[in-house]
């Protein structure tokens, strides 16, 4: 047996678990889900093929589908740009070489490791209309108390504010990117008389644009799937204002036992995410800057 | 910003020296004051970001009456953050009301088993992608990366059906209401993100080390196990932290699979606790704090490897 063949066999053995996993936990479920999306099934009885009925229902009969899609779009398209900007803003000072900087890195990252359930419960208390932290802070600056997640106009903004608290993951990715920007470029820019702001605009931003792009893409995909906080804190309320897409899907599958229709919703979400990710990739050509790779 | 530039060449030597001295002490003062300002701003940001957690721990140590008290004005606000008379018995009460010990045990089993599975099978795949040549590698790697975009929710329903229809070890004769559905998927590569992270890191290890070992007669598996893995501490630590945190915090999968109370994980148990004690904020906060502390500890003790593994992997795509 040649060395080349031995290498290939070793490689296949090493990736075998992953290939199996792809087939078993991704490919097969996706195919099954696609098939189910054209059927009606309550888990116990027979699977009934219904053609495009589920897809038609999604757009015509299911009012909650439209509501949940609207809520999720609001949360995503307002929240994700804010997250990304905030994460970058936090990462900038963290990339400095100040003494003790690593304590700040830790402190600013910590909120994002807080378990989602614990943080949801904590934020119920923070948003408590009578004695919550949010209204306490407003009281100090003499702003009248708000209803936050219990108020139908404030609920979604309150969810966005809450999610701003845990942008640590994006922040760390920005930080890694910022540390990859060569110091010589800043030195050169500063010799040419560029101040801090212009250096940021013309050196930092273009050079980290692939990372900004990565964060926006991953942020959008994650944001479309918001579930835990809404399930625990508001269960979709008040007045369906926080009925997000995955919560609606979860109810159809595991509360109404409509596994066919739930699969249709799942594929709907997949297509929506693919669509917006595709748009981002198309738009990326205009603003994402890649260095020419010299290998 | 070089001090020498401040002095025009026509001045006398003494004048130049004076000007230089004054200029450099001015710059030093400016840099000290700007540093103080930077620290002050960063401490302020830290306080804002940590405030919710402080609120959590403060509330967990208060009496119900105090949790429900509304602080007015800034002094009462700070007083509310530091409980003068901490009630540690809140923790005892919260933790004994429900089988928290059992939930912690279940969660630990899931976290440990899933993390080991990810480290092992994920690094195997990552090594093949980083080092070995094989047919179909390109397309397999592209497929791997594209699954990053796949929402968990798309595969969730059929995975649930799979685990409930395939005969298995649970009392109902399938796999639901056991910890297996939370562990097994992690033993099949551990997911695209971890594979990618480890592959990026492996590629920074000089390939000459592998070549030298092979010259000495080591096979591909020895190179993976005895050369690459021992040199990959930072990235393995990063994967461990991420895997620990995400499995410890996971909510949706346990919610779907685990029905009976004694089989639940902490995240799920905490949610049911919230359902029953919805107005006992002091107990809810004590329970939430208990679930949060282990994650914080793991992060604190491993965080110095964490950033290193991240930056060195070049995950940021540069």
Cα(B194)–Cα(B129) distance, rounded to whole angstroms?
Answer: 12
Helices (H), chain A: 3-21, 28-36, 53-60, 63-94, 101-109, 116-126, 133-140, 155-164, 168-178, 183-191, 196-199, 205-223, 228-233, 245-250, 259-287
pLDDT of residue B1: 40
Structure tokens at B262: 């004694």
pLDDT tens figures, A85-96:
999 999 999 988
Burial of B222 (0-12, 13-18, 19+ CB in 10 A): middle
Q: Contact B292/B266 with Cβ under 8 angstroms?
A: no
Instruction: Count Cβ atoms within 10 A of the Cβ of residue A78 and give its class: 0-12 exposed, 13-18 middle, 19 or more buried.
Output: middle
**In the block, residue with structure tokens 């904590």:** A122
B81 and B102 belong to one structural domain:
no
Nearest CA in chain A to B38: A93
Residue B151 has what pLDDT? 83
For residue B318, what pLDDT is reported? 37
Residue pair B148/B315 in contact (Cβ under 8 Å)? The answer is no
Q: Which of residues 54-93 of B touch A (CB under 8 A)?
A: 55-56, 59, 67-74, 77, 80
Does some domain include residue B279?
yes
| A234 vs A229: CA distance, rounded Å | 8
B81 with B47, same domain: the answer is: yes
Looking up residue B200, the CATH number of its domain turns out to be 1.10.3720.10
What's residue A291's pLDDT?
61
Tens place of pLDDT for every residue, chain B, 318 residues? 444 444 444 455 667 777 777 777 777 777 788 889 989 999 999 999 999 999 999 989 988 888 777 777 777 788 778 877 888 989 998 888 888 899 999 999 999 999 999 999 999 999 999 999 999 999 999 999 999 888 888 888 899 999 998 898 888 888 999 999 999 999 999 999 999 989 988 998 898 998 899 899 889 999 999 999 999 988 898 899 889 999 999 999 999 999 888 899 999 999 888 888 877 888 999 999 999 999 988 888 887 777 666 666 655 443
Nearest to A165 among B39, B52, B271 (CB): B52
Quote the domain boundaries for residue B170.
90-312
Using a CB–CB cutoff of 8 Å, tell me whether A172 touches chain B.
yes
Q: Say how many C-beta atoms besides its own lie within 10 A of residue A111's C-beta.
A: 18
Interface check for A7 against chain B (CB to CB < 8 A): the answer is yes
A10: nearest CB among B132, B195, B317: B132
Reference B94, options B132, B62, B124, B69; nearest CA is B62
Q: How many CA atoms within 13 Å lie on the side-chain side of B194?
A: 29
Contact residues for A96 (Cβ-Cβ < 8 A; gap 6+): B38
Q: Looking at the structure, do residues B267 and B306 belong to the same domain, yes or no?
A: yes
Distance between start and end Cα atoms, chain B: 31
Measuring CA to CA, how many Å separate A140 from each of A144, B71, B76?
10, 9, 10
Residues of chain B positioned with their CB less than 8 A from the CB of A15: 124-125, 128-129, 134, 140, 189
Give the Cα separation of A190 and A197 in Å (integer): 11
> What's the pLDDT score for residue B39?
92
What pLDDT score does B5 carry?
A: 46
User: Are B292 and B223 contained in the same domain?
Assistant: yes
Q: Do A273 and B149 touch (CB under 8 A)?
A: yes
Examine the domain organization and report whether B290 and B151 are in the same domain: yes
pLDDT of residue A295: 40
- Which residues in chain A are contacts of B315 at CB distance < 8 A? 173, 176
Of B46, B69, B87, the residue that ends a domain is B87
Its CATH architecture, for the domain A37-98+167-287, is Orthogonal Bundle (1.10)
Alpha helices in B73-202 (DSSP H): 73-81, 89-97, 100-117, 123-131, 137-146, 152-165, 180-183, 192-202
Residue where a domain stops, chosen among B54, B70, B87: B87
Q: Assign 3-state DSSP to chain B and report helix, strand, coil percentages, each to 5.
A: 75, 0, 25
What is the nearest CA distance from B11 to chain A, expressed in angstroms? 25
Please check the confidence at residue A217 and state whether its pLDDT lies above 50: yes
Interface of B with A in 154-173 (CB under 8 A): 154-162
A273 touches chain B (CB under 8 A): yes
Chain B residues in contact with A117 (beta carbon < 8 A): 249, 251, 267-268, 270-271, 274, 288, 291
Cβ <8 Å between B134 and A7:
yes
List CB contacts (< 8 A) between A276 and chain B. Answer: none
Say if residue B108 is in the same domain as residue B201: yes
Segment A137-146, tens digit of pLDDT = 888 888 998 9
Residues B218 and B248 in one domain: yes
> pLDDT, tens digit, for every residue of A29-47?
999 999 999 999 888 888 8
> What whole-number distance in Å separates Cα of residue A247 and Cα of residue A180?
39
| A103 pLDDT more than 60 | yes
What pairs with residue A239 in β-bridges? none
| Residue pairs spanning A and B at CB distance below 8 A | 288
**ipTM for the complex?**
0.89
Q: Which two tokens stand for residue A93?
A: 């000072």
B47 at A interface, C-beta within 8 A: no
Q: Is residue B317 part of a domain?
A: no
> Over 90: is that where the pLDDT of A267 sits?
yes
Decide if B53 is inside a domain. Answer: yes
Q: Where are the domains of chain A?
A: 37-98+167-287
Q: What does chain A come to in residues?
A: 295
Phi and psi dihedrals of A40, rounded to 5? -120, 130
Q: Could you tell me if B42 and B143 lie in one domain?
A: no
Do B30 and B165 sit in the same domain of this protein?
no
B301, part of any domain: yes
Chain A: closest CA distance from residue B264 (Å): 14
Are residues B82 and B100 located together in one domain of the fold? Answer: no
By C-alpha distance, which of B289, B285, B260, B251 is closest to A232?
B251
Cβ of residue A222 closer than 8 Å to a chain B Cβ: no
E strand map for chain B: none
Q: Looking at the structure, do residues B72 and B110 belong to the same domain, yes or no?
A: no
- How are beta strands A48-49 and A39-40 bridged, if at all? antiparallel
Give chain B's domain count: 2
For residue B90, the tally of other CB atoms under 10 A from its CB is 24
Rounded CA gap, B127 and B230, in Å?
13
Q: Alpha-carbon distance B114 to B180, whole Å?
A: 10
Residues of A in Cβ contact (< 8 Å) with B316: 173, 176-177, 180, 208, 210-211, 214
pLDDT at A293 over 60: no
Using an 8 Å CB-CB cutoff, list chain B residues near A135: 70
Give percent of chain A above pLDDT 70.
98
Given a cut of 80, whether residue A51 has pLDDT beyond it is yes
Instruction: Kindly give, in sequence order, each residue whose CB lies less than 8 Å from that of residue A213, ignoring residues fewer than 6 positions away.
Output: A280, A284, A288
The Cα of A18 is separated from the nearest Cα of chain B by a number of Å equal to 4
CA angle in degrees (0–180, nearest 5) for B243-B249-B250: 85
Place of tokens 């195919």: A31
Are B276 and B162 members of one domain?
Answer: yes
Chain A residues near residue B41 by CB distance under 8 angstroms: 93
A11 inside 8 A of chain B by CB: yes
Q: Give a yes or no: residue B294 inside a domain.
A: yes
What b/e readout covers A179-206, taking b as 16+ CB neighbours within 10 angstroms? ebbeeeebeebeeeebeeeebeeebbeb
For A144, phi then psi, to 5°, come to -60, 150
Residue B241 in domain: yes
- CA angle centred on A286, ends A283 and A288, rounded to 5°: 90
């Amino acid at each position: 047996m040649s060395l080349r063949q031995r290498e290939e066999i070793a490689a296949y053995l090493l990736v075998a678990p992953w290939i199996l996993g792809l087939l078993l936990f991704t490919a097969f479920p996706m195919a099954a889900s696609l098939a189910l999306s054209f059927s009606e099934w309550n888990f116990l009885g027979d699977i009934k093929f219904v053609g495009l009925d589920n897809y038609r229902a999604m757009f015509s009969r299911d009012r909650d589908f439209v509501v949940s899609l609207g809520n999720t779009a609001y949360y995503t398209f307002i929240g994700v740009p804010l997250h990304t900007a905030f994460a970058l803003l936090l990462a900038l000072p963290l990339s400095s070489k100040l003494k003790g900087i690593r304590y700040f890195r830790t402190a600013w990252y910590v909120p994002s490791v807080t378990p989602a359930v614990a943080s949801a419960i904590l934020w119920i208390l923070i948003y408590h209309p009578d004695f919550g932290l949010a209204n306490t802070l407003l009281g100090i600056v003499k702003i009248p108390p708000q209803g936050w997640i219990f108020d139908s106009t404030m609920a979604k903004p309150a969810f966005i504010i809450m999610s701003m608290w845990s942008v640590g993951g994006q922040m760390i990715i920005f930080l890694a990117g910022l540390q990859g920007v060569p110091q010589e470029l800043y030195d050169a820019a500063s010799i040419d008389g560029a101040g801090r702001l212009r250096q940021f605009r013309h050196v930092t931003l273009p050079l980290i644009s692939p990372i900004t792009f990565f964060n926006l893409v991953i942020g959008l995909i994650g944001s479309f799937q918001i579930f835990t906080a809404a399930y625990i804190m508001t269960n979709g309320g008040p007045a369906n204002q926080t009925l997000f897409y995955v919560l609606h899907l979860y109810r159809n599958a595991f509360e109404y036992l409509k596994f066919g229709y739930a699969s249709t919703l799942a594929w709907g979400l997949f297509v929506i995410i693919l669509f917006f990710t595709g748009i981002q990739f198309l738009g990326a050509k205009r603003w994402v800057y890649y260095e020419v790779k010299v290998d | 910003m070089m001090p020498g530039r401040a002095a025009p060449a026509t001045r006398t030597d003494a004048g130049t020296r004076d000007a230089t001295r004054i200029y450099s002490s001015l710059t030093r003062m400016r840099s000290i004051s700007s540093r103080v300002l930077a620290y002050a701003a960063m401490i302020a940001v830290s306080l804002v970001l940590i405030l919710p957690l402080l609120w959590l721990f403060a509330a967990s140590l208060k009496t119900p009456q105090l949790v429900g008290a509304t602080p007015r004005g800034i002094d009462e606000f700070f007083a509310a953050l530091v409980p003068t008379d901490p009630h540690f018995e809140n923790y005892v009460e919260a933790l004994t009301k429900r089988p928290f010990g059992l939930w912690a045990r279940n969660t630990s089993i899931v976290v440990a088993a899933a993390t080991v599975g990810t480290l092992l099978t994920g690094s195997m795949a990552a090594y093949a992608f980083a080092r070995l040549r094989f047919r179909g590698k390109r397309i397999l790697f592209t497929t791997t990366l594209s699954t990053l975009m796949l929402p968990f929710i798309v595969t969730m329903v059929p995975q649930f059906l799979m685990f409930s229809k395939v005969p298995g070890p649970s009392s109902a004769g399938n796999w639901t209401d056991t910890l297996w559905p939370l562990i097994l998927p992690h033993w099949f590569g551990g997911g695209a993100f971890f594979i990618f992270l480890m592959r990026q890191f492996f590629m920074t290890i000089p390939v000459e080390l592998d070549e030298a070992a092979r010259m000495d007669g080591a096979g591909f598996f020895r190179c993976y196990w005895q050369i690459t893995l021992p040199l990959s501490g930072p990235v393995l630590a990063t994967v461990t932290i991420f895997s620990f945190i995400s499995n410890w915090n996971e909510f949706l999968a346990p919610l779907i699979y685990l029905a009976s109370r004694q089989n639940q994980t902490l995240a799920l148990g905490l949610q049911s606790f919230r359902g029953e004690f919805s107005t006992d904020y002091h107990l809810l906060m004590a329970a939430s704090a208990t679930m949060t502390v282990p994650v914080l500890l793991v992060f604190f003790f491993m965080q110095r490897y964490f950033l290193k593994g991240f930056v060195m992997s070049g995950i940021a795509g540069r």
